[in-house]
Structure 1
Amino acid sequence: MTSVVPPTIGIDFGTTNTVVSMTYGDGPARLVRFPTTEGDLFAFRSALSFHNLQGQGGEANERVVEAGPWAIEAYLEDPLETRFIQSFKSFAASAAFTETRILNKRYLFEDLLAAFLLKVREHAGEAMADLPPRVIVGRPVTFAGGNPDEALALQRYEAAFARLGFTDIRYAYEPVGAAFFFARQLKQDATVLVADFGGGTSDFSLVRFERESDGTLRSTPLSHSGVGVAGDAFDYRIIDQLVSPALGKGSLYRAFDNRLPIPQRYYTAFARWDQLALLRASRDMRDIRSLEKTALEPEKISRLIEVLDDNHGYALYRAVSGLKEALSARDRATFRFEAGSILIEQEVERTSFQGWIAPELTAIETAVDQALARANLPPQQVDRVFLTGGSSFVPAVREIFYRRFAADRIESGGEFESIASGLALIGRETDLGLWTMQAAVSPAA
């Protein structure tokens, strides 16, 4: 009697984008697509919006929640009445983040993630109408943040994914998912290093793939490493160099007879897109407004207030992303951030950008070497290198691998789909314990 392979689902909840893939029987992994007016998409932006309806005749604190491109659309239509949050995965493992209040409602991290996932399911329509009990969720090797609490992050994930009805929630390292995706094209046995560059983390896994006599592909995990810096950290370096000085960083204010520097903490919020959204509703906002009266360059503080009050974070994100993309293709590009009354424009050399991100490049390079050391493998014994994720296009990042591996061993691709598709394929493995983990402590119901 032929056994029936149950459907499996893999979800890559990313800092920038979220991708869902499913398998049916022993068929290939297929991406879940989301119909929009401009065509179907499968990379669903990891963003939330909370739109206040009170000014449109709604009840006090009545809100409409949206996610993905619909969240962006809601924000662009009415930025002053819309709370827009992106990159919120970055504080999944932060014990310091306990809650945020949006339109006088309290949201824990798991509330934000659950709201996001429910909208993902809603916009997927029939494709996610009947979900299997088991889900394989991607997780970074090292969560983002200064002192990440892995157990806390997985407990929060557990609570959120359970609200979709999943009863068997398992977690697999994101680069391992990418390795399973990449393994489809292997023609012979190979040791593969996968480097996954997301928005919040850079993760690395070494996996050995061997073909059995019956054609079955057997895989063995060798090592993992990761570091909590990636694309968002690169963004912060651009902002710190090009934008923050125009918003008052490094300038002074008067306090009685003294001249004091503007507090740096107002600008460290720009290190993470989620914190930028939260700063707008924080106590610091009152202090920033008062600084405008005593600043020696009040016009700069006025710009900072406008960026926060008028919710220009998304426009800033677009400008920074555009510069990174341009500098990946050219030696020089123009940075241009225009929003409201603000215009910041400057020519940037690729070499300057590479100097700004030197600390992150060093951390990434160290993590690559850690993966090799933990597997006790020299670079010459790695047969294939697979680079995936948006920041893999940054020339200085790619150079880390060209210095260690022959160019003909390095490949890239599947920047959006590789992890989710691989996670769904992992869900069909007979020994799931070899590839996945579960939350150490189940959250309270």
Structure 2
Amino acid sequence: MTLACGLDFGTSNSTLGRVGPDGQPQLLALEDGQATMPSVLFFGFEDDRVHFGRAALAEYVTGAEGRLMRSLKSVLGTALFADTTRVKARRLGFGEIIGTYIGELKRRAEAELGAELTRVVMGRPVQFVDDDAEADRMAQGQLEAAVRAQGFEEIAFQFEPIAAALDYERQVSGEKLALIVDLGGGTSDFSLVRVSPARAGAADRSGDILATAGVHIGGTDFDRLLAMSRIMPELGLGSRTRDGKRHLPVAPYYDLSTWHRINRLYDPQALRDLRSTLREAIEAERVRTMIMLVEDRLGHRLIGAVEAAKIALSDATETDFVFPVRDRDIRTTISVGQLAEALADSVARLEATIGETLRRAGIGADAVDSLILTGGSTLVPAVSRRLGALFPEAEVVRTDVLGSVGLGLALEAKRVFGPGH
């Protein structure tokens, strides 16, 4: 027997769901009984194994030698996709790495179901790449090729915010105009959707989608911006050369702040460049800490700590940041106000994209009945407060921020492939 499923391959976390015999969508347990699995791989050099999800992060945190790969979705449709990364004696392309991760999701789900999965509805952002239709088509094609290589024979795509709307629609009693706000790890998507229990099973819902818009901003961008604003200055960003004629190069700090670029700093030439910078730097000790951090390959762990600080500021007004590097600490304090300042331009772009969504639909904010929030980045205070200010009269509905897209994709799989899927 072969089955169909909905697969939400996210920048930060992934889920896989299907509709059960009772007609209700369910997410399968992918790791340690949990429905979400971090979209992370760790290629262990000591045991020659590939670790996935939380196990991959645990291997990395314990200091095992290997290569951590995260935020893989962010490279789709970009020039980085053509790059390769060295894993011991092999060089792997990003398509192969993404396929390896998706293949593991498939194997785990098939083990739980006792049947083969050959048909899938994949979630996709409204835009993989901003304002570039050709790059967007390329990104979907790259993802489809990676999925097909893992044994999926029939592949359909659905916008992630539309999938979230399908999940929400199960709980409404009448027709509503909903703005789906899907703020994920790599992209932010907005969709105005007419939801109604009477329309839930319709084969063609295109008429209910009044407008969509998206922008390539997400949680990993927030991590990068917070790191550049509050952490990288502790490593020398913004300081000058000894002769006072110029600032230190920004590029290494940008790479260290960006999940999918960190591995570039581990190249021997990048380290030579940093040591050359050290000889010129007026704040040499800060740069020396940067070099130690790169030599010890602590980059992903550092940005993981930045992400943890960002999350802590969802519930606190201030958090202390302390990150050890050999015999010293990177130490600073981060407040909610400083986080908001770091994200100000990105939040403004999110607001502009919401405005474009409303403009395309030809409606004002007061016509929106429900504000459906999904994706972990909707919990960031600077974001949630702005959304509340834009739609003061709308009902705010917080879905399962990590699971609603996967549930909606499971419902879509049933619609696309039929009830006997």
TM-score (normalised: structure 1) = 0.85
Preserved CA contact (<8 Å) 1:141 1:203: yes
CA separation in 1, counterparts of 2:85 and 2:397? 44
Contact 2:179 2:370 in 1 (8 A): yes
Letter in 2 for 1:229: I
Out of 189, 209, 230, which is 1:203 matched to?
189
Residue of structure 2 in register with 1:98 after alignment: 82
Residue 181 of structure 2 contacts residue 189 of structure 2 at CA under 8 Å; is this kept in 1?
yes
CA distance in 1, matches of 2:118, 2:53: 24
The secondary structure found in structure 2 opposite 1:164 is coil
- Could you say if the C-alpha distance between residues 150 and 344 of structure 1 is closer, same or farther in structure 2, counting changes exceeding 3 Å? same
Aligned to 2:312: 326
1:408 is displaced (CA, Å) by: 5.4
Among 22, 27, 33, which residue is 2:18 paired with? 22
User: Please, which moves more after superposition, 329-338 or 155-164?
Assistant: 329-338
User: What residue in structure 1 maps to residue 72 of structure 2?
Assistant: 88
CA distance in 2, matches of 1:322, 1:316: 10
Check 1:427–1:121 CA distance in 2 against 1; reply closer, same or farther (3 A cut): closer
Does residue 241 (structure 1) correspond to residue 226 (structure 2)? The answer is no
Cα contact 1:388–1:415 (8 A) shared by 2? yes
1:107-118 equivalences in 2 (<5 Å): 107-118=92-103
Residue identity matched to 2:72: F
CA distance in 2, matches of 1:43, 1:211: 28
SS at structure 2 position matched to 1:179 = helix
Q: Secondary structure at the match of 2:170?
A: helix
Judge conservation of contact 1:315–1:338 (CA < 8 Å) in 2: no
Comparing 14-23 with 374-383, which one deviates more in the overlay? 374-383
CA contact (8 A) 2:213 2:357 kept: yes
**1:179 Cα deviation after fit:** 0.7
SS at match of 2:82: coil
> Structure 1 106/35 Cα, relative in aligned 2: closer, same or farther at 3 Å?
closer
2:297 counterpart SS class: coil
User: 3-state DSSP class of the match of 2:116?
Assistant: coil
2:124 matched to 1:134? no
Kindly provide the CA deviation profile for residues 15-74 of structure 1, in whole angstroms up to 9, marking residues without a partner as x. 1111111124561111110343xxx11110111111113xx7xxxxxx322221121122
1:165 matches 2:151: yes
Question: 1:372-391: CA deviations, max 9, x gaps?
Answer: 11111222222211011111
Q: Residues 195-274 of structure 1 correspond to what in structure 2 (within 5 A)?
A: 195-212=181-198, 219=205, 220-253=208-241, 260-274=246-260
Is structure 2 residue 40 aligned with structure 1 residue 47? Answer: yes
Determine the C-alpha separation between the residues in 2 that align with 1:420 and 1:147.
26
1:121 to 87, 103, 106: 106
| Residue 59 (structure 2) aligns with | 74
CA distance in 1, matches of 2:313, 2:349: 21
Q: Aligned in 2, Cα 1:216/1:85: closer, same or farther, shift over 3 Å? A: closer
Per-residue CA deviations over 1:324-383 (Å, capped at 9, x if unaligned) read 222222222222323443422222221222111110000000111111111112222222
* Paired residue type of 1:87: S
| Per-residue CA distance 1:253-294 (angstroms, 9 max, x = gap) | 46xx78543211111113420111232236323211333334
For the 8 Å contact 1:90–1:145, the answer to whether it is kept is no
Q: Distance in 1 between matches of 2:108 and 2:268?
A: 32
Deviations 1:395-436 (A, max 9, x none): 22122322232355111121111001101101222599xxxx
Report the Cα offset of residue 313 of structure 1: 2.6
Post-superposition offset of 1:169: 1.2
Structure-2 residue corresponding to 1:441: none
Are 1:152 and 2:138 an aligned pair? yes
CA contact (8 A) 2:235 2:289 kept: yes
- Where does the alignment leave 5 or more consecutive residues of structure 1 unmatched? 1-5, 57-62, 433-445
Q: Any idea what the Cα deviations from partners look like across 1:60-107, whole Å, max 9, x if unmatched? A: xxx32222112112212334x211121121111102441223223222
Q: Does 1:33 align with 2:33?
A: no
Cross-structure match for 1:186: 172
- SS across alignment from 2:23: coil
How far the C-alpha of 1:320 sits from its partner, in A, is 1.5
Matches of 2:297 and 2:255 in 1, distance apart? 14
Distance 1:431 1:7 in 2: 9
Q: Which residue of 2 aligns with 1:3?
A: none
Residue 18 of structure 2 contacts residue 413 of structure 2 at CA under 8 Å; is this kept in 1?
no
Q: Secondary structure at the match of 1:263?
A: coil
Distance 2:339 2:107 in 1: 40
User: 1:99-153 CA distances to partner (integer Å, 9 max, x unpaired)?
Assistant: 2232232222211101111222344461265333221111111225796811221
Q: Higher helix share goes to which structure?
A: 2
Q: What percent identity do the matched residue pairs reach?
A: 29
Counterpart secondary structure, 2:186? coil
Gaps of 5+ in 2: none
Q: Aligned partners of 2:114 and 2:146: how far apart in 1?
A: 17
Whether the aligned pair in 2 keeps the contact of 1:11 and 1:423 (CA below 8 Å) is yes
